[in-house]
Structure 1
Amino acid sequence: MAMNLKIFETKELADIFVADLLRKQIHNNPESILALDVNEDLSQAYEKFVGEVKNHPADLSEVQVFAVGRGNLDVFKNLDIPSSQLNSGGTADDLDDKGKKKVNVALLNLNPNKKVGFNNGNDELFKAKELFIFASGADKSEVVRNLYDANLTGNGSLSEIKNHRMVTVVLDKAAAADLDQDIVEYYTYRFA
C-alpha cells in the first residue's frame, strides 16, 4: 500500500497536474491503456490534457482510452486518434471484453457519496498499475477524510483504494478541509 496525497491550492492547479501526468504517461508509454472517469469534475483537466498533447506532441498510435461512467468522450476526439481507440461503453465489462492488458492508469473521481468509478465491478480499475483519485470542492471534504481514515482490512471502495499498491489522491484545498492541518501542510504541492 502506497497512498500518496497531492493537495493543491486551487482546482485549476489540480487540473493542470492531472493533465500533465496523463501527457507524461502517454509520452513515456505510447501503448498506454487509460481508464478515465468522464465525470464533469474532470472535464477541465481533460481539456488541459488535450492542450498539453497539442503543444507537446506524443505518439498516440497505440493509446487506448476507456470511458469510466456514461459521460461522453468528445474532448478526447480532439486528440486526433482513431475512434477504435476511444472506448465509451460505460461498463466494467468493456475493459474485460477488449482482451487488453492491464490498465496502466485509472483516473477516477471521488464523489461525496463515496462512489468512485463504476457503481459496481471496479475490479479491473483497481488492478490498474497506477490509480489516481481526484476530488475537488468542499462537498468532498468528508469523503476525503473517510478515505484517509479507511480501514485497510475493511470492505468497500475506500478500503480498496487505500490498499492499492500505487495510488495518488489529487485534491484541492477545499476537498482537503476535513484533514488535520499538519497533514494538509505536509502534502500541499507547490510548483518549483
Structure 2
Amino acid sequence: MALNFKVFETKSIAARYAADIVRKQFNGDSTSVVGVHLNDENTTFFDELFDNVKKSPVNFSQIHVLDFDDKEDYYTELGVPSKQVIKTDVGGDVESVIKDKVNTDKKKNKLMLNVLTLTDDSRIGLDYDSSIHPAREVVLLVTGKEKAKAVKQLYEEPANGSVDSAKLKQHRMVTVVLDNEAAQGLPEDVRSYFSIQFS
C-alpha cells in the first residue's frame, strides 16, 4: 500500500496535525485502543494533544492507551484513567496485551491507531508483525533535519528491503506526518506535492 505523506512547515504544526488525528479517533470511538511510541517526538506531540483535548473534550472512560514510552503521568493528566494506561513492552504482542488487559463495552477490542516515529537510522523500534500490523491505522510523526535521511530511506526502500521502516509499506493505512526539515529527505516534487496548510 502507498504511504500517505503530509508535509508541514514546522515541527509544532506537524505535531498539531498528528494530535488532531488522535483526538478525533478518541471522539469518534469512545472505546478506542491507541498505541503510542514516539521517543523524541513525545513532548511536542503531547503539548499539542493536551491543547486539542482542552478545546474539544474527550470522554476517556473507556479509552485505552498502549504506552510504549512509559509516559503514564502524561495520559492521566490528559484524563485517561491510570488503569487504562497499559505499559507495553516494545517487543510485545499487542493483540495479546489487548486481550489480557483491555476491557470495554466492545466484545472484541482492536488496536485502532498506532502513533509512531522513526529514529535517525530509519528504525521504528517495534516489531512490525506483532505490534504494528494489527493496527487499523498508523500515524508516523517525523520531524527535524536529523531525520531527513531516515525519511529518504523510508521513501526509497522497497517494502521487503533491509530498512526497518520500509515494512510500513505493507500496512493498509499509514499517514506520514513530516515537518519541512524532515521532508528534505523526499524528492522536491514529492515534497511540494504533499505540502499542506493546517492551523
TM-score by length of 1: 0.90
Partner residue, 1:10: 10
Alignment check: 8 A CA contact 2:7 2:191 kept:
yes
Residue aligned with 2:78, SS: coil
Point out where structure 2 has 5 or more consecutive residues left out of the alignment: 103-108
SS of corresponding position for 2:183: coil
Contact preservation (8 Å) 1:106, 1:131: yes
Q: Which residue pairs with 2:67 in the alignment?
A: 67
Question: In 1, distance between residues paired with 2:90 and 2:187?
Answer: 36
CA distance in 1, matches of 2:133, 2:175: 13
Give the drift of 1:78: 1.0
Q: How does 1:1-192 map to 2 (within 5 A)?
A: 1-68=1-68, 70-93=69-92, 95=94, 96-99=96-99, 100=102, 101-118=109-126, 120=127, 123-154=130-161, 157-191=164-198
The aligned length equals 190
Point out where structure 1 has 5 or more consecutive residues left out of the alignment. none
Percent identity over the alignment is: 29
**CA 161–107 in structure 1, closer or farther in 2 if over 3 Å, else same:** same
Give the TM-score, by structure 2 length: 0.87
Letter in 1 for 2:11: K
TM-aligned CA deviation for residue 73 of structure 1: 2.5
Structure-2 change in CA distance of 1:115 and 1:61 (3 Å):
same
C-alpha displacement of 1:159? 2.6
Q: Judging by fraction of residues, say which structure has more helix.
A: 2
Contact 1:141 1:176 (C-alpha < 8 Å) held by counterparts: yes
- Judged with a 3 Å threshold, the aligned counterparts in structure 2 of structure 1 residues 189 and 171 are, in CA distance, closer, same or farther, namely same
Between stretches 122-131 and 105-114, larger displacement belongs to 122-131
